[in-house]
Chain A
Amino acid sequence: MRSRYIPLLMTFVVFVALYLIAYSRFSSFGSMRVVGNLLRDNAYWGIAAIGMTFVIISGGIDLSVGSVIAFTGVFCALMIGRNGWDPLATFAVILTIGTLFGATMGFFIHYFKIPAFIVTLSGLFLARGMAYVLSTDSIRIDHPFYKQISDLVYVFPDRGRFTFAAGMFLLILIVGIFLAHFTRFGRNVYALGGNSDAALLLGVPVGRTTILVYALSSFLTVLAGIVLSLSKQSGDSTIAVGLELDVIAAVVIGGTLLTGGVGYVIGTFIAVMTLGTIQTYLTLDGSLTPWWIKIVIGILLFSFVALQKLLSSRKRVQSAKEQLATAPLPS
C-alpha cells in the first residue's frame, strides 16, 4: 500500500471505530434515522469543508467560511422573506456574488502578494460586517419553495429521512472528487500546492488557478449557506461564528496537509462524518458536557497531525521531507 493513503485509511479506521463505539452504546446508530440525520446536520459545513479542501491542497487557507455562510443566510432571508424575490433567482445572485468575492480574494493573494491568511481574514470581517449591515435580526423565510424543498425527502422503512441537504452534500462530494482527481483544474491545484514555482515552470496557470480555487471555495461556501438557509428556513447574521476553524480541523483530520499538495476530498467527508458522530453521541449521552467535544476535537486533531508527521518522516524521498520541513506558512 502506498504510504500516502495511510492517513486516509487511518481517518477511515477512526471513523468506523468511533461509529462502532457509538453503536455499542446506542443501538439507534444502526438505524437509517441516525445516518440520515448525520448527513443532514453536517451537510452545510461539510460542503464548505470540501471547498476548503481545494484551498488547502493549493497551499492556501480560507478564513472567511463562517462569515460567508452567515451573509448568505441573511441575504436569502432578506430577499426571499422580506422582499419577495424568487428563491432560485436569489440563489443565482448570491452564488454570483460569492464567486466574485472569492475570485477577488484570490486576485489579491496572487497579484498583490498579500498572505492568504490576511486577505481571507479581511474577507471574514467584510462578509460578517455585510451580514450585520443587512440585518441584525433573525428573519424567518416563509415561502412555498422552501416547503417544497423540505418535503423533498426519501423516507426509509425505519422512518429514517434522506433529505435534500443530505443529497446535496453527497452530490457535491462526488463533484469534488471528480474535480480534484479527473480534471486539469484539479491537477493544477495539486501542482500549485506541491511547489508553486515548479508549477509555474511547468506551465500551470498559477494566477488563474489561485483565483479559481478561492472562487470555488466561496461558491461552495455560499451553497453551504443556501443549504443551511433551506433547512433552518431563516437567516441570522450571528450564526456560524468560528465555523472556519471546525472546517479547517476537519480538512486536516481528513488527511490533507496544510503545506499543500497532498489531500483527498473523500478524507474531508469522512472527517466531517467523524466529528458529526462525536457530536451526535454527545447529544444522545446527556451526561457528557458540551465542552468535551472541543477537547475531543483537539485531541483528534493532535493525533492525526502527529500520525501524519510520523508517516512523512519515514518517507523514502528525503527531498520531499525537507520540502515539508522548510515550507513556509500557507500564503
Chain B
Amino acid sequence: MELESKDAYSGQDAGQKSRNGGFRITRPKGGDSRALWTLVALLVILLSGRLISPNFFEIRMVNDRLVGSLINILDSSAPYVLLAVGMTLVIAVKGIDLSVGAVMAICAAAAVVLIRNYENGATAFYFQPGFVILITIVIGAVCGLFNGVLVAFLDLQPIIATLILMVAGRGVAQLITGGQSPTFTNDAFAFIGRGVVFGIPFPILIAVAVLIAAIILVRRTALGLLIESVGVNDRASYYAGIQARMIKLSVYMLSGMCAAIAGMIVAGEVKSADPHKAGLFFELDAILAVVIGGTALTGGRFYLAMSALGVLIIQSLLVGLYVSSLHPTTNLVVKAFVVLAVLLIQSPEFRRFITKPFRRTS
C-alpha cells in the first residue's frame, strides 16, 4: 500500500495534486498516462531518425560486433543508464545527486592510476585488474557514503550536500592524477568499456544487468516500498519503524557505486582518464532522464525502467542529430527544444492550457 499524494501535507506543489486525483491505494497496472507520452516521444524521435537516415534501423555484424545507429544509441546510453538507476533511487527519497559526474572522474582517475601501476610491473595483488574494479567500486561507495552522511545524518539539503563533492570532486580527481590525463593499455581492464560479448558491446550488458538487478531488488523486496515511503514523508516513515536515515544513506552509496562503474566504462572506452572532462555534465543528463521518465523531483514514487527510457530518448536524439545533416553546433539547441517539448507534453497543466479552447465549459 502506498499513498500517492505527497501534496496533502507539503502543500508546496499543490498544482500536482490533480495529476492522479488525490489518494490512490494500489499501483495502477499500466502506470499513468505519462509513461505513454514518454514512449510516444521516444518513437517520434526514432522515426524522425529513420526519416533522416534510411538505414537508421539497420544493424549489421562487422568483425563479430553489431554495428548500427540503434547499437550506438544503446552503447552511449550505458553509462547514463547506470547513473540514472542510482539517481532515480536518490530522487525517490527526495534527494538529488549532483556529484555523480565528479565521482565518475574520481573513480576513472583512481582506476587508471592503479592500472598503470600494474602495467609498470607492480605485483601487489590489489593492482590486478579484477581488484582494481573492486577497489574503484568501493571508492564510489565511499563517495556516496560521504554524500549520504551529509544528507541523512547532518540533514543538509541534498542539492548543496552533493554540490560540495561536485565542486571538490574534480579537484580530487586532478589530485589523484597529478593534473595529467593518464592513459593505459591493459586490455583486460579496457574490456569494461570496449569489450564485446556475443556481438553486443559489454557496456550495454553491464547497464542492462544493473538495471534488472536494481528492479528486482526494489520490486521483489520491500526495499522499493520503503524508499517510496521515505521519499513521501521521511519523518512519518521513521515513526512507522523504517530506518529512514539508513535508507537514504544506502541509496546515495548505491548511486556512488553506479557512478564508479560508469566512470570505469568511460575510462575503458578511451583507455585514459581525463579529470576535467570525464563525466562532465553527466549528472545533468542523468537527472533529466529521470525526470523525463516521470519520477518527480519531490520524491516518492519512482520508475527505474522509465528512467532508462528517458536516457534512451536523450541518446536517440543525439545519435539522430549525429546522422542528420544538421551542423553539430545546433545539437544543443535542438536538445533544449526537444527536452522542453517532452516535459511540456508531460505537464498536466500544459495539456490543460492547450486543450482549454477545445473544452466545453461546464
Contacts and interface: CB of A to CB of B under 8 A. Distances in A.
Interface of A: 61, 63, 108, 111-115, 117-119, 121-126, 128-130, 132-133, 136, 196-197, 245-246, 248-249, 252, 258-259, 289-295, 297-299, 301-302, 305-306, 309, 313, 325-331
Nearest to B330: A133
B37 to A, nearest CB: 14
B11 interface: yes
The DSSP consensus for interface residues of chain A is: helix
Contact of B13 (A113, A249, A259): A113
B165 A298 contact: yes
Interface string B174-197: 110001000000000000000000
The DSSP consensus for interface residues of chain B is: helix
B336 A129 contact: yes
Contact of B171 (A133, A245, A294): A294
Interface string B37-81: 000000000000000000000000000000000000000000000
A141 to B, nearest CB: 21
B291 A245 contact: no
A121 B287 contact: yes
Given A309-B154, A328-B13, 5 more contacts: A122-B336, A259-B157, A294-B170, A294-B174, A329-B157
Contacts of B234: 326
A114 B347 contact: yes
A126 B298 contact: no
B122 interface: no
A90 B161 CA distance: 40
Nearest to B339: A122
A258 B329 CA distance: 34
20 contacts: A112-B350, A112-B353, A113-B13, A114-B347, A117-B287, A118-B297, A125-B336, A129-B329, A129-B330, A133-B329, A197-B11, A245-B163, A249-B163, A258-B157, A258-B160, A289-B175, A291-B171, A309-B154, A309-B156, A313-B155
Contacts of A111: 349, 353
Contacts of A121: 284, 287-288
B179 A289 contact: yes
Interface in B2-22: 10-16
Interface residues of B, number: 60
Nearest to A135: B329
A285 B15 CA distance: 53
Nearest to A246: B167
A305 B159 CA distance: 11
A122 B156 CA distance: 26
B70 to A, nearest CB: 24
Interface string B229-261: 000011100000000000000000000000000
Contacts of B348: 113
B299 interface: yes
Contacts of B170: 291, 294
A252 B160 contact: yes
A115 B297 contact: yes
B237 to A, nearest CB: 12
B348 to A, nearest CB: 8
B354 to A, nearest CB: 10
Interface in B294-339: 297-299, 329-337, 339
Nearest to B165: A298
Contact of A295 (B12, B159, B172): B172
B158 interface: yes
B155 A126 contact: no
A113 B349 contact: yes
Contacts of B331: 129, 132
Given A118-B291, A196-B12, A297 B330 contact: no
A301 B330 contact: no
Contact of A326 (B171, B235, B337): B235
B349 A126 contact: no
A302 B164 CA distance: 6
Contacts of B13: 113, 328, 331
Given A294-B168, A309-B154, A115 B332 contact: no
Nearest to B346: A114
A294 B154 CA distance: 22
B271 interface: no
A133 B298 CA distance: 35
Contacts of B168: 294-295, 297-299, 301
Contacts of A132: 329-333
B355 to A, nearest CB: 14
A298 B165 CA distance: 7
A322 to B, nearest CB: 8
B72 to A, nearest CB: 21
Given A125-B339, A298-B168, A309-B155, A133 B333 contact: yes
